[in-house]
Amino acid sequence: MMKWSLGKLSNGGGFVWTVVPAVALLGIFFSTKKAVMPRPEKFTRFEPCLWRYELPGGWVVLAGKADQDNDHLSIKMAKANDYWFHVKGLPGSHVVLQVPTGESPGNGTLKEAAAIAAWHSKKRESKQVAVSCTKAQYVSKPRGAKPGTVHIKKEKVLKVRPAIPQES
């Protein structure tokens, strides 16, 4: 609602009729500042739960314990030259063999890491298990996929007996 009000000119030369909103006459003014929305709480950093194994020669193998841990290990932690392992066609942990820059593991080291992947699967009690092996750069996560689901390319299948390294 608009009201007419009588205002005095600043130069002292008389009075002028002005239109003033009714709200202004009541002393209520609108702020031109944006409303401050409360910020959501900051996300806590995800700390994955992993099994860690050391193989002869100083090689380090990591295995995820749950689907979110597998995702973090396979997609975020693994470097392009690391090797990735998973039991073929069954649920199990994602396993990563960490490879230092400029080095490459021997076939025996790859088989030991594959045996760890077989151990952390439902085929633990089997005599031989087929394990997919590829470089981590060929592991990707499809959009919208559930945690723990990945797509792999250039896989090599190793047949191994499930085992974990013996502690010395």
Task: Note whether 19 and 2 are within 8 A (CB).
Answer: yes
Q: Answer yes or no: do 99 and 16 share one domain.
A: no
Bridge partner residues of 16 (DSSP)? 7
Cβ neighbours for 10, distance < 8 A, ≥ 6 positions apart: none
Are 6 and 56 in the same domain?
no
Would residue 120 count as lying in a domain?
Answer: yes
Best CA proximity match to 96, nearest among 108, 85, 110: 85
Q: What's the rounded Cα separation, in Å, for the pair 2 and 95? A: 73
Residues 59, 114 contacting (CB under 8 angstroms): no
- Could you list the pLDDT tens digit for every one of the 168 residues in the chain? 555 555 555 555 555 555 555 555 555 555 566 667 777 776 666 677 788 888 888 889 998 888 888 888 888 888 888 999 999 888 888 899 988 888 888 899 899 999 999 998 888 888 998 999 999 889 888 898 888 788 889 989 999 898 888 764
Helix (H) / strand (E) containing 22: helix 22-26
Same domain, 77 and 134: yes
Name the residue range of residue 28's domain: 1-32
- On whether both 81 and 143 belong to a single domain, the answer is yes
Alpha-carbon gap, residue 51 to 49, rounded angstroms: 7
**Could you tell me if 131 and 95 lie in one domain?**
yes
Alpha carbon distances (Å) from 75 to 141, 157, 159: 7, 21, 25
User: Nearest Cα to 111, choosing from 97, 90, 125?
Assistant: 97
What's the first-to-final CA gap in the chain, in angstroms?
87
- Beta carbons of 90 and 117 less than 8 angstroms apart: no
Q: Is residue 42 part of a domain?
A: no
CA distances from 27 to 17, 23, 30, 80 (A): 19, 7, 10, 66
pTM of the model: 0.69
Domain count within the chain: 2
Residues 22 and 89 in one domain: no
127 and 74 in one domain?
A: yes
The label of the residue with tokens 């998973």 reads 86
Do 80 and 14 reside in the same domain of the chain?
no
